[in-house]
Amino acid sequence: MSLSLENLHKSKPNLQKLQHDSFVEAGIELFVLRLDEIHPIISGNKWYKLKYNLIEAQKIGKLLTFGGAYSNHIFATAWAAHQLGLKSVGIIRGEETLPLNHTLSKAKEWGMEIHYISRTEYRNKNDEEFVNLLKAQFGECFVVSEGGANDLGVKGAEEILQHTDLSFNHVVCSVGTGAMMAGIVNSVREETSVTGYASLKGASFLNEEVARFLKGGHQNWSINLDYHFGGYAKTTDILNDFIEKFEFDFEIKLDRIYNGKMFFGLMERIRNGGFKAGNKIVAIHCGGGQN
């Protein structure tokens, strides 16, 4: 088992072209960047957002981060810290529920110290004073924002498209914290439009979240707030049926929290003539299945 960051993760994501009658009718080409395949545990965008955070954490030997009880970020961080020989603390939103779910029992198995705080307290997660109190409690550590949504996380996300030729007209991704989307917007050509699909309900604040991480003057991006299906981690029969059919048609599994909603919105836009004939679109499959 390797303990160096370079060996933790190397693979370059596959860019897969999908075939469907509706694409032929619309005259578009759709590619999927398969971040879900790059690693069985740190799958999807989590690797990119963690990379530079882990490099900083290695200087201290310990990291502390935040997440919900089902967080892909907690899962990925606990594993990466374990692989690198770093101590880790997970500050979890809400009360402990026993038996521990898969996410948290794995995190614990990988040596993460789990600490629960109330939903009210959790709102202070980005507060300097609150973070200092946590540092006093858990000792000197490098603090990674929830979901890896900090400057270093965005810097990593800027590398998501690095192996593609960037000749796309549109890039489509899902939005949780918006850190990945900010990295994507920072990395594309000016002519390329970026659309994010929010998995949270009523999340217009995400526009500011993304904007605060943007570097250049890229204006050509927007967040679609219409495909939350009831809210974060909520689903409907329509969404479930779509995910099943998508897997049948393309042999690609989608999670219900992020990718299912994004592809639902994207396929609808394609059917409704929302893209010009000749356009090349890349959708980012961000993983999300915890193994």
**Complex with ligand PLP: residue 30 or 210, whichever CB lies closer:** 210
Nearest approach in angstroms of CB 175 to ligand PLP is 5
**Complex with ligand PLP: residue 53 or 174, whichever CB lies closer:** 174
Nearest approach in angstroms of CB 145 to ligand PLP is 10
DSSP bridge pairs for 87: 62
Report yes or no: 198 and 172 within 8 Å, Cβ to Cβ: no
Rounded Cα–Cα distance for residues 210 and 86 (Å): 30
Nearest approach in angstroms of CB 180 to ligand PLP is 3
Nearest approach in angstroms of CB 184 to ligand PLP is 9
**Complex with ligand PLP: residue 26 or 91, whichever CB lies closer:** 91
Burial label for 18, CB within 10 Å (0-12, 13-18, 19+), is middle
**Complex with ligand PLP: residue 70 or 138, whichever CB lies closer:** 70
87 by DSSP, 3-state: which? strand
What are the residues binding ligand PLP (CB under 6 A)?
Answer: 44-46, 72-73, 147, 149, 174-181, 255, 258-259, 286-288
Who's near 147: CB < 8 A, 6+ residues apart? Answer: 49, 67, 71, 73, 153, 176, 177, 179
The residue written with tokens 């693979």 in the block is: 11
Nearest approach in angstroms of CB 149 to ligand PLP is 6
Rounded Cα–Cα distance for residues 123 and 47 (Å): 25
Nearest approach in angstroms of CB 196 to ligand PLP is 8
**Complex with ligand PLP: residue 148 or 267, whichever CB lies closer:** 148
Nearest approach in angstroms of CB 276 to ligand PLP is 27
**Complex with ligand PLP: residue 74 or 270, whichever CB lies closer:** 74
The residue written with tokens 């779509």 in the block is: 242
Rounded Cα–Cα distance for residues 134 and 141 (Å): 10
What is the 3-class SS of 141-206, one letter each residue? CEEECHHHCCHHHHHHHCCCCCCCCCCCCEEEEEECCCHHHHHHHHHCCCCCEEEEEECCCCCCCH
**Complex with ligand PLP: residue 89 or 284, whichever CB lies closer:** 284
Nearest approach in angstroms of CB 147 to ligand PLP is 4
Q: Residue 113 has which token pair?
A: 């110290």
**Complex with ligand PLP: residue 281 or 288, whichever CB lies closer:** 288
Cross-sheet strand order for the sheet of 280-285: 15-18, 29-34, 280-285, 170-175, 193-198, 221-224
Give the H/E segment covering residue 117: strand 112-117
Amino acid in position 65: T
